[in-house]
Amino acid sequence: MPKPSPPKWLNSKIEENQIIRITPLMLKPKLITNMKKSKKKVNFVAFDLRQNDLNLKTGQKILNFLKKLDQNKINFKVAKPLPRCLFGLDYNEIVKKFDIPISCADCMELFTTQEDGTAKFCEVLDNRLGPKIEFMKDREQIYEYFYTFYKYLKPSTKCKTCITFQRGNCSGLCFKVES
């Protein structure tokens, strides 16, 4: 019996576009210079934040960084959602302007595909293995599978006390209870 091919909706060729992981301490002009020198068609960026980064000051640093990428005509895409507390009342405007994912369902890091065709979920689920991609109808179905585990995760201490999180208007910081 022939091996089934991956579904048409799965983009199996991602070229050289590895995600650039950025912490707030890395937001320096040298990073912009290095990205400008890069020959990548698109620079995928993911901000790795901790609880103590969840504030407007960090949000301003990230916003300034994104503006500088824009000003330098560096083609980029933010790979994963950022919490609302970083941008306050300007959140909707900023995510729209920079096309930032607003939930895990939109996150580029939701899953990767293993060599055997199995979905491997992000760090939030401790890289849990999921179903084979060939048996999934679309990305939405993969997200539904992810969510069956995600909904039981406990938010970080800071997110637990956040009114925006409590109202369900923020999926928070990729949940991990920090010790």
Tokens of 30: 């040298």
- Closest among 64, 72, 61 to 23, alpha carbons compared: 61
> Contact, 142 vs 136, CB < 8 A?
yes
What pLDDT shows up at residue 175?
Answer: 60
Partnered with residue 16 across adjacent β-strands are none
Partnered with residue 77 across adjacent β-strands are 44
The pLDDT tens digits for 70-121 are: 999 999 999 999 999 999 999 999 999 999 998 888 999 999 999 999 999 9
CA triple 166-51-157, angle to 5 deg: 45
What does pTM read for this prediction?
0.82
